[in-house]
Structure 1
């Protein structure tokens, strides 16, 4: 199975609802029609440069904390940025934000970091705004499926 590609999901999931989003991303990426993609989830405090170096695409997930990304995701970027900067340019990436407010500051901060890394957005960031809605699960599942299908079909 040397043709198997890896989708790395680095997502902060401090609550039952945000864990539902991680599970949804994994479920979407594991769809029966996806044949050659392995999706793995690592919480941001456990993920590092070696995980990024070994992946073929990355899905980032975070809560909106005080108008910014979670401290855990920021820590991931702090530990990973320079170690992967010259090696993973062009890495396909996507993002979902669980935002109690509007997610603008969170999105802007992550977009700035991803631009510096020269990763390629495969879809605009998904912002799940306001009070919890079950539709967020469906949206994140679709995002996981989209990334895995793109990898599986060598679209990116």
Structure 2
């Protein structure tokens, strides 16, 4: 069964709302035959990444960069996965109060270095997520999961 791995750092209520919407989209009952695995960024392993067929990445923007937790995750699995995960789709969601550009740029650089392919446009929010924002998060999760359907 294809696996979608959701690697996230969810330290705030806004990130939690986004995470829940992404999970709801990825696990929609109309999307069948996909195993959705959730791992906190500080707990994900190279084995988790190697076993997955696609990825959803969630991070707050901290001081103009991805969270330290997501950076740690990339540091943990980057080289063990470098030659084995190229071409796999990924999606990204980011929440920041201001200055999300550096966080987006840093995640895109790491994903590009791994050879991952964007499976959907990133969802990047500032301030409290509204209904339309959460729908975009839901669509992100659903889009990535649907791409992996057998």
Which residue in 2 is equivalent to 1:120?
Answer: 117
Structure 1 segment 129-148 matched on structure 2, within 5 A? 129=126, 131-135=127-131, 136-148=133-145
Distance in 1, matches of 2:76 and 2:32, equals 32
User: Mind listing any 5+ residue stretches in structure 1 that lack a counterpart?
Assistant: none
User: Mind listing any 5+ residue stretches in structure 2 that lack a counterpart?
Assistant: none
1:51-70 CA-partner distances (Å, limit 9, x unpaired): 10110100000000000000
Give the structure-2-normalised TM-score.
0.94
Deviation at 1:115, TM superposition (A): 1.1
Deviation at 1:127, TM superposition (A): 0.9
Give the structure-1-normalised TM-score.
0.91
Distance in 1, matches of 2:136 and 2:9, equals 17
Deviation at 1:9, TM superposition (A): 0.3
The answer to whether the 8 Å contact 1:59/1:94 transfers is: yes
Question: Size of the alignment, in residue pairs?
Answer: 149
**Once superposed, what is the RMSD of the aligned Cα atoms?**
1.2
Structure number with greater CO (CA < 8 Å, separation at least 6) is 2
